[in-house]
Structure 1
C-alpha cells in the first residue's frame, strides 16, 4: 500500500525520536570514562543510520507536501481573477472572509459589501450574519504524548519489548523488567480498535477555497485523533476492550509510588528515584497543570522566582501537561506506543436543517505500554 503524506509524517516523527534518542545515548556513553571505543563507534553507526533514514523521509515529506500544495493551488483561483464576473467576485469575497477570520483579522468593508452585509441587495442572506463577524471553532486539541510516545502506522504490528539481547541470561539488570518479560513475554502485538472522528464543516467553509477547506478538515481530524489518543491513554475507567491502553487501568497495574505531602512534589521525586537507571535517564513527567501550580506555590513560599522557571528545572525532568493526567505519570515514554492501522475510511453526511456537513473519518487505533516497569504513578498520601 502506497504511503500517504499522513503516513510519512508519522514515520518522520518516529524516526526523528529514535534518532534523537540514539544521539543522546551516544553522548551518555561517550561521557563514561570506562566506555569502550567499540561501543561508542557502534552508537555512532546507529545514529548515522537513523540520520540517513530521517533525511530520506524528510526529503520525501517535503516533496509530497510541495506536490499537495501545488495541486491545491492549481484548484484555487488567483486572487482578483476575473472579478468582473459577479460569481467570481462573490467567490473571492467568501475566500477573503475565511482568510480574515482564520487569521484573526477584521473582515473588510469591501468583503462585507460584496456579500451584501446589511445593504439593500438582500445579499446578507448568503451567510448567517454572525459569520461576517467571526468563525466560531472549538479549540484544536493537542495530545502531549505526541511529544513523547512512539507513533506508527503499520498493519498487524508486532515489536520486541527490548531492542537488544545478550548471550548472558541475566543481561537485564532491572529485575522488575526481567520478571515482566518472563510473565508477559518479550513481544508486543498491536490490535485494531475502531473509532470515528466527525469534522463539522459549514457551508461557508465548503464554498471557500480548496486550501482553506483542506486545512479546516485536517485540523479538525487531527484534533479528533489527539482527543482519542488522550482519552484512551488516561482513562480512569476504560471501555471494555481498551483497558490495556490506559496508564491508570488495573490491567496494566503500573507501580504506584506514594509520599506524604499536600502536593505531588515528593511523590514525583520518589517516583523518579524508584525508576531503574535505564529508564530514569530518559524519563519525563506528564501531569495536570493545576497540580504543577500547587507545587510551585508550595516551593516558592512567597517568592516569584520559581514561577519563571522551566518545569524541568523545578522537577528535574521534562514535563508535559494534560488535564486528564489525574495522577502524575513518570517514566520513559518511548515505551508508550500508539499504532494506527493504515486503512482509514472516509465518509460524509449533511444536516439539512443546519447546513453543516460532517466529514467522517473511521480509523483503527491501539495504544500499548510496551514495558510497564518503565513507568511509575505518583500519588500523595
Structure 2
C-alpha cells in the first residue's frame, strides 16, 4: 500500500511538472529569470536546512529523507526553468544578431536605410564604419562609404528635400574620379562635319576634351539627440533631406552665380570667363524667342529654357493684354520649348542642357561638429564637385534691351 501511494505521488509530481513546463513555455525571458530566482532561493534554503538536519541528532531519518526529496524536487524544477531560460535567451540573442546583420536583411531599401543610419551614428560617436555598412552602401568596403552621397542624391531619399536644383532633371550628373570626357558625343574623320561655326571655333580654341576638377565644399546636417537615437528611417530621412538640400543649393549657386568665387568662374552660365553669347530683345518674350532662333539647329532641337517664374508671369501679363487664354496655356505652348523655373536664373538661360555636366569626386569625408549655441550635433560631409559647361555655343543668355 505504501509503494502504491509513493508511485501515485511520483506520477502526480511528474504530471504537475509537465503542467509547469507548459506554463513556462509561454513565459517571457524576464519571467523565467524571476522564476529561477524564486526557485533558486527555495533550493538554497532547503539545502541549508538539509545540512543542518544532517548534524542535528534530534532529527529523524524520515525528516532528513523528506528534506532530501524536497531538495531533489526543487533541483529538478530549477534545472527545467534554467534550460527554458537558456534556450529562450539563445533564441533572442540569435534574433538580435540577425537584426544587426545587414546581410540578413532581404529588402534592399531597408538594408540601405539601416546602413546609412549606422554610418551616421558611427560618425557622430566617432567610431569606425564597419565593412558591412560600406558594402551595403555600394562601395564594396574598399573606401569610406563614399556612395552615401550618390549621383542620385536628390531622388534616392525617403522624403522631399527642402531645396531642389531644377537642373537635376536636365543636366548630366556623374560620380567619377578624374573624369575626362569629349565635348561632342561623336566625331568624323572630316573636321568640316561641324556645321555650327561657333562650335568649330570653340573646339579649336579650347580643345575637344573636358577635364573635371575637384572643388571642395561642406554640407552640415543638424541632428538632435532624439533624432540620433530614434528609428533608422527617421534618422536617415532627416539627414538625407538636409544633405540633398545643401547639395542642391550648392549646385544652383555655382551654376547661376553672377559673381562666382575665384576658381569657380567656369561653373557659372553668367561668368565672363564662359562668355556665353547674349541675345537681346525689346521684351522678355522676344529676347527668349531670339535666343532660341540664334541657336544652331543641333542645339535648338533639344533646347530648354531656365528662367524665373516672376519673369514668366510678367511676360504673360504683357502678352495676354486682358486675354485670359494665355494664363491657362502651358509655358511650352507659349515659348515653343520646355520651360524650367528657377529663381536663380536672373536672366533666362536657353540651350541644350545635356552640355551642362556636374561631377562629384568619389573621395568623401565624414565628420561631426557641434553648435555650442544650440547644442545641436552636426553631421558633416566634405565633398568635391565640379560643373562644366561642355560647349558654351550650345547656350544663349536672353536679355531685354535696355529702354533708352
Note the 1:1-381 alignment, pairs <5 A: 66-70=107-111, 72=113, 140-261=162-283, 264-381=284-401
Report the CA distance between 1:70 and its aligned residue.
3.8
Output one character per residue of 1:110-164: Cα deviation in whole Å (capped at 9) or x when no partner: xxxxxxxxxxxxxxxxxxxxxxxxxxxx971000111110000000000000111
SS at match of 1:166: coil
| 1:22-56 residue CA offsets vs partner (Å, 9 max, x unmatched) | xxxxxxxxxxxxxxxxxxxxxxxxxxxxxxxxxxx
Q: Confirm or deny: 8 A CA contact 2:161 2:241 kept in the other structure.
A: no
Is the alpha carbon distance of 1:68 and 1:273 closer, same or farther for their aligned partners in structure 2, counting shifts above 3 Å? same
Counterpart CA distance in 2 for 1:285 and 1:140 is 23
Deviation digits for residues 183-207 of structure 1, max 9, x if unmatched? 0000000000000001112223223
Q: 1:72, CA displacement in angstroms?
A: 4.4
Aligned length: 256
SS of structure 2 residue aligned to 1:224: helix
The separation in 1 between residues aligned to 2:363 and 2:112, in whole angstroms, is: 23
TM-score between both structures, scaled by the size of structure 1: 0.64
Q: Runs of 5+ in structure 1 lacking a partner?
A: 1-63, 77-137
Q: Deviations over 1:210-266 (max 9, x none)?
A: 1110111011101100000000000000000000000000000000001112xx110
Give the 3 Å change call, closer, same or farther, for CA 349–302 of structure 1 in structure 2.
Answer: same
1:241 and 1:352, CA in 2 relative to 1: closer, same or farther beyond 3 A? closer
CA displacement 1:60-110 (0-9 Å, x = unmatched): xxxx9942414647999xxxxxxxxxxxxxxxxxxxxxxxxxxxxxxxxxx
Instruction: Measure, in 2, the Cα distance between the counterparts of 1:65 and 1:293.
Output: 50
* 1:303/1:204 CA distance change after superposition, 3 Å: farther
Q: Using the alignment, how far apart are the partners of 2:115 and 2:308 within structure 1?
A: 45
Q: Tell me what 1:85 maps to.
A: none
Q: Which secondary structure state, in structure 2, belongs to the residue aligned with residue 282 of structure 1?
A: coil
> Quick one: structure 1 residues 351 and 335, their matched pair in 2 at CA, closer, same or farther if it must change by over 3 Å?
same
Describe the shift of the 1:66–1:251 C-alpha distance in structure 2 as closer, same or farther (beyond 3 A).
farther
Structure 1 residue 168, shift from structure 2 partner: 1.8
Distance verdict in 2 for CA 1:363–1:71, change over 3 Å: closer
In structure 2, the residue corresponding to 1:365 is in which secondary structure? strand
Instruction: Give the whole-Å Cα distance in 1 for the aligned partners of 2:334 and 2:222.
Output: 41
- Calculate the aligned-residue CA RMSD, in Å: 2.2
Structure 2: segments with no counterpart, 5+ residues:
1-104, 118-159
TM-score normalized with structure 2 length: 0.61
Matched residue SS, 1:170: helix
